[in-house]
Amino acid sequence: MGATYVIGDIHGCFDTLRALWPRLGFDLDRDRLWLVGDLVNRGPRSLAVLRWAKELDERLGERMRVVLGNHDLHLLAFADGHARKRKKDTLDEVMAAPDRDDLVSWLASRQLVHRRGDVLLVHAGLLPHWTPGEAERLAREIEPCLRDPESRRPLIDRSLEIPPGDRWYAPRQALSAMAGLRTCTTEGEPCKFKGPPHLAPTGCLPWFQIPGRRSAGVTVVFGHWAAMGSRIEPGVIGLDSGCVWGNRLTAIRLEDGQMFEQETVETSLPANTAPKKKD
């Protein structure tokens, strides 16, 4: 049947990805590859990462799955002309590429949630009142909208105000959670917080620690939370170990829990790169 390998947030760190890849011992004819999202931005080689992922996807077919992260969605909005270039963005090479449209179209057709058996892949997290089935249903409703520039605009153009009651309000909130959730209240209200879990504001808990979380029956594999680092515990596999912040890129083989870590090798990271974490 082959093994399933999941790689955390790459963020355009193609050189680190290339250093990690041979260590996985990935069998191109049998194994499965999942990417947890945020393939692009902040790191120096987003274009190379996109081309690598697209070419590998064409070879592996159903054995490769990529879920969309917040930076991937930002690239879609930027390519559509609905987002301004941000200070930390490193997307110019993608925008100038001759195959830009093909790459953007490929990225836009990726999933938000992927489930195989009792393992569910999502970029950031799940709201506590979602069952795995409900998360999948919401993702399947939203994903077709993301494939077309016009239909995805209400979902990803942050300059548009979508009031409660509007038909785009609920799917936009769901997309925001899947791609950007870190902490929330026990009532499921997302908190705006990016720091390490122990510094979360009063009343805000990591989404996977909310009592009674309805997705607790599956193992959720996610990324997005670099300040938390990689985290493995029953029902939870967090894989964003801050590669683009000068730390490491992490992968896991799901069948036996074997971890693979590669220290960041990029030398041209953002000028405000955070210091490396000390183990």
Position 279 confidence tier, pLDDT thresholds 50, 70, 90: very low
In a domain? residue 273: no
What letters, b where the CB count within 10 A reaches 16 and e where it falls short, cover 244-265? bbbbbbbbbbbeeeeebbbebb
pLDDT tens per residue across span 203-258? 999 999 999 999 999 999 999 999 999 999 999 999 999 999 999 999 999 999 99
pLDDT beyond 50 at 278: no
Q: Of the candidates 93, 4, 109, which has an alpha carbon nearest to the alpha carbon of residue 40?
A: 93
Helix (H) or strand (E) holding 16: helix 14-24
234: CATH: 3.60.21.10
Separation in Å, CA 164 to CA 3, 134, 143, 157: 43, 20, 21, 16
Residue with tokens 């990726």: 110
Q: How far apart are CA 81 and CA 8, in angstroms?
A: 28
Q: Does position 190 have pLDDT exceeding 60, yes or no?
A: yes
- Answer whether residue 275 is part of any domain: no
118 confidence band (pLDDT: 50, 70, 90): very high
Q: Is residue 277 one of the residues assigned to a domain?
A: no
User: How far is Cα 20 from Cα 261, in angstroms, rounded to an integer?
Assistant: 7
**125 within a domain of the structure (yes/no):** yes
How does residue 270 score in pLDDT terms, banded at 50, 70 and 90? Answer: low
Place 120 in a pLDDT band, splitting at 50, 70 and 90: very high
128: left (phi over 0), alpha (psi -120 to 50) or beta: alpha
* Owning domain of residue 35: 4-263
Run of H or E including 19: helix 14-24
What pLDDT shows up at residue 1?
81
Structural domain includes residue 269: no
- Residue listed under structure tokens 């997309």: 175
| Residue 199 maps to a domain | yes
Whether 246 is covered by a domain: the verdict is: yes
The whole-angstrom separation of Cα 74 and Cα 157 is: 9
Is residue 78 included in any domain, yes or no?
yes
Report the C-alpha gap between 189 and 202 in whole angstroms.
Answer: 13
Amino acid occupying residue 198 = H
Q: What is the pLDDT of residues 251-266, one digit of tens each?
A: 999 999 999 999 999 9
- SS3 label, residue 27: coil
**Total domains in the fold of the chain:** 1
The answer for residues whose C-beta is within 8 angstroms of residue 60's C-beta and 6 or more apart is 28, 32, 33
pTM value is 0.95
Number of residues that make up the chain: 279
